[in-house]
Amino acid sequence: MQIQDLPYPDPGVPDARSGPRFLWWLGRNQLGGQLKALAWGLLHFVAVSAQPFCVGFAIEAVVDRSGSRLALTGALMVLCGAATAIGDTFLHRAAVTNWITAAARVQQLLARKASELGSGLTRRVAAGEVVAVSTGDVEKIGWFVEAVSRFTAAALTVLLVCVGLVVYQPALGIVVAVGLPVLALAVLPLLPPATRRADVQREKAGRATELASDTVAGLRVLRGIGGEELFLDRYRGASQEVRHAAVRSARMWSLISAIQVLLPGLLLIAVVWYGVQLAREGRITVGELVAVYSSVMVLTYPLRHFEEIAMAYSFSRPSARRAAGVLSLERVTDAGGSRAADTPRGDLYDPVTGLLAPAGRLTAVVCGDPDAAGRLAERLGGHPAEGGPSVLLGGVPLDELPLDSARTAVLVQDKDPVLLSGSLRDLLDVPASGDVEPEAALTAAQCGDVLEALAQGSLDADDPMDALITERGRSLSGGQRQRLALARSLLTDPEVLVLDEPTSAVDSHTEARIAAGVRSLRAGRTTVVFTSSPLLLDRADRVVLVHEGEVAALGVHRELLRTEPGYRAVVTRETDEEAALSGALVALDVDEEKKLNELKEIEETA
C-alpha cells in the first residue's frame, strides 16, 4: 500500500479487545510495509556498522604497507557510504509511509464507527474524547507502528555486529557482546514508571480537550450568563495540570536518555582500557583495537532506537487503548441487514411506547421530558440508546434492514443539528429523492432572511447559495441555524422524517409559517414532530401525548386541550394551581352543559 492509494477501500475489522491487540492488528495488516522498512533499515544500519571494520582493515594495510589491500578497503568504504545513504533515504520513506498509512487506517475506522453509531456515539463517549483520539492519539499510534521496523533492524544489526566482533577479535568482542545487552536492558526498570506518567499526562490532556470542546460549543450561552471567566479559569487549571504532568513525564524520559548516554560511555572506556592492555601485550593489533573502538562508538546509533521504541510504546499504548475503546462500541441493536436493501413503506410503530405514526400523515408527539423526547426520536430512527423491540416501518423491523437502507427510510433531525463549514450549496448537497427542490425546502423553512444575511456577510458571493457558512454556523443566530438545518432535512425528502423541536428558537410568526410550509411540502409523506408548540400542534393530523414512556392520550390539539389535563399542562405550561383551577372551570362548563341539555329535553317533552 502506497500513500497515493489511500484511503483504503476497506480498512478491515479491527481487533479492539485491548490496546496492545489493536497495535498488533495494525502492524500485521501492514506486514508488507514493515518488511520493506526492515530491509532498508538493515541495509542502512549494517552499512554504518561495517565502516569501523573497514577503518581497521585500512590501518592494518598501512602498517603492512599493502597498497592493494588499502585500495580494496577504500572501495569497500565507498560502497558502505553509498549503501548508508541509499538505505537511510528509503528507510525514511518506508517509515513515513507506514506512519501515515497506519494513522489513515485508524482515522477511517473511527469515521466508520462514528457513522455507524450516529448520535449515540457522543452519548457513550465525550465529544472531546473522540476529537482527542482522532487527532493526537492517531499520531502516537502511527509513530509506534513505523518505529517497530526500525527497532527490529537496529536490534538485528547489534546482534550481527556482536557476532562479527567475537569472530574478528574474540578477546574484546566478548566484552562488547556481554556489555551491549546490559546497555539495552538497563532502562527496563524505569519504563513502568515512565509509562504510568505518560498515561497520567494523556488522561489529563484528554480531560482538558473535553473541557475546551465543551466550552467552545457553549461559548454563546456562557457569555449570555456571564460564565465565560469561570470556565476560562477551569480550563487554565486543567491546562496547568497537563503541564505539570508533562514535566514529570519528561523528567523520567530525560533520565532514561541520560542512562542511554552514560552506559555506552562507560562501556567505551572499559573497551579502550582493556584494548590498550591487550595491545601492549601484543595480543591484538592497533587496527583491531581501532576497529573495536569504532564499532562500539557506532553502535550507540542503533542503540538509540531501543529508547525510541520504549517511548513510542509507552505513549501509544494509552492512545491505542482509547482508540480500541471507541472502536469496540457496538450499536444497541443489530443492524446487520438480514433483509433486502429495500425501503419499506407504511405506518411507523414503536412497540415499546405504543406510538403509531400513520403513513402519509403529520403526527405531533408531546413529551413532558425533553430528554425522553430525544431518546424516543432516536429510537424511531433506529438508533436506540438501550435494547428492546425494534421500531416497525410498514411492519418491517428497522433492525433487520441494512444500516444505509434504514437511514434512507427514516431521517431524524435532533434538537441541536450541526452545520458544517462551507457554502450554502455544500450544506444542501445531501442525498435526496430529487422530488424537492432546494428553493422549495428553503421557502418552507422560512429561510428568506437567512439568505439575505448570508449574502450580506459574503461580499464575494453574487449568489446566496455560494455564501459561506462558518463552522457550526456560529455567525448565525440559533433560529437561523435551525431553519437551515430544517431546509436540509426537507430537501432530503425521506420516507419518514422525524423532527425534534425544529422551531424552538424562532418567533411565533415565523413558527406559524414554518408549520404551514412543512405540512404543505410533506403532504403524502410521513412526518413526526416532537414539540410542545401550539402552532405546530394545531397543524398536525394527529397528536400523541407520551407520558412515562407510554402513550397516554391521542387525538387532535384542541380536543386534547379540553379533555386532557396532563396534555394541557405540558402545552400551556400551567402550574399545579392553574391546572386545578382550569380543571374546575372545565367541570363547571360540563355541568352547565348537562343542565342546559336537561332543560331542553323537558321543554321538548312538555
Residue 340's pLDDT band, with cuts at 50, 70 and 90, is low
Give 308 or 94, the one with higher predicted confidence.
Answer: 94
Pairing label, strands 348-350, 392-393? antiparallel
pLDDT, mean of residues 337-341: 58
Whether the per-residue pLDDT at 459 is higher than 80: the answer is no
The DSSP secondary-structure symbol of 505 reads: T
What is the tens place of the pLDDT at every residue in 238-262? 888 888 888 988 888 888 888 877 8
Split at pLDDT 50, 70, 90, the class of 583 is low
Q: Dihedral (C-alpha) 328, 330, 335, 337: value to the nearest 10 degrees?
A: 20
Residue 283 in grid coordinates: 595480543
pLDDT band, residue 228 (cuts 50/70/90): low
- Residue the block writes with cell 568504504: 77
Q: Stretch 293-302: mean pLDDT, rounded? A: 77
Peptide bond into 7 cis (omega under 30): yes
Check: CB of residue 81 under 8 Å from CB of residue 108: no
What pLDDT is stored for residue 516 in this prediction?
94
Provide the mean pLDDT of the chain: 82
Q: How many percent of the chain have pLDDT more than 90?
A: 29
Which stretch of 111-120, 174-183, 546-555, 581-590 has the lowest confidence by average pLDDT? 581-590
Q: How many CB atoms lie within 10 A of CB 556?
A: 14
Grid cell of 84 as nine digits: 548508508
Distances (CA, A) of 454 to 201, 421, 458, 464: 43, 13, 6, 6
Q: Using the 8-state DSSP alphabet, how is residue 385 labeled?
A: S
- Among 98-107, 117-126, 293-302, 587-596, the minimum mean pLDDT is found in 587-596
Higher pLDDT, 358 or 305: 358
Q: Strand 496-500 and strand 410-413: pairing?
A: parallel
Rg of the chain in Å (alpha carbons): 36
Maximum CA pair distance of the chain? 150
- HEC letters along 76-110: HHHHHHHHHHHHHHHHHHHHHHHHHHHHHHHHHHH
Pick 231 or 240 by higher pLDDT: 240
pLDDT given for residue 213 in this prediction: 64
Indicate if the pLDDT at residue 544 is higher than 90: yes
d(CA 431, CA 481): 20
The count of other CB atoms within 10 Å of the CB of residue 589 is 11
List, in sequence order, every residue forming a beta bridge with 367; answer none if it has no partner.
Answer: 546
Q: In the predicted model, is pLDDT for residue 571 greater than 60?
A: yes
pLDDT band per the 50, 70, 90 thresholds, residue 420: confident
Q: Mean pLDDT across the stretch 174-195?
A: 78
Average pLDDT over residues 258-281: 81
Q: Rounded mean pLDDT of 411-416?
A: 87
> What pLDDT, on a 0 to 100 scale, did the predictor assign at position 341?
61
The C-alpha atoms of residue 502 and residue 417 are separated, in whole angstroms, by 9
pTM score of the predicted model: 0.71
Q: CB-hemisphere CA count at 13 Å for 113? A: 26
Q: Is the pLDDT of residue 406 over 90?
A: no
463 vs 582: which has the higher pLDDT: 463
The pLDDT value recorded for residue 370 is 84
Q: Which amino acid is at 581?
A: L
592 band by pLDDT with thresholds 50, 70 and 90: very low
pLDDT band at 502, cuts 50/70/90? very high
Whether 275 has a pLDDT exceeding 50, the answer reads yes
pLDDT of residue 586: 45
| Cβ-proximal residues to 505 (8 Å cutoff; 6+ apart), any chain | 477, 478, 479, 481, 482
- What's the rounded Cα separation, in Å, for the pair 151 and 155? 6
**What percent of the chain has a predicted confidence (pLDDT) above 70?**
88
pLDDT for residue 75: 92
- Report how far residue 445's alpha carbon sits from residue 505's, in angstroms, rounded to the nearest whole number: 13
Q: Is the pLDDT of residue 358 over 90?
A: yes
More confident residue, 458 or 509: 509
Q: Are 574 and 568 in contact (CB under 8 A)?
A: yes
What does the block give as the cell for 410?
Answer: 427514516
Reading the block at residue 20, the C-alpha cell is 496492545
Q: Which three cell numbers stand for residue 41?
A: 533499515
Q: Is a pLDDT exceeding 90 seen at residue 575? A: no
**Most confident of the ranges 155-159, 379-383, 491-495:** 491-495
User: Does position 602 have pLDDT exceeding 50, yes or no?
Assistant: no
| pLDDT of residue 137 exceeding 90 | no
**Per-residue pLDDT at 173:** 80
Name the residue among 559, 554, 505 with its Cα closest to residue 533.
505
The region of weakest confidence among 92-96, 163-167, 496-500, 515-519 is 163-167
CA atoms lying within 13 Å on the CB side of residue 214? 16
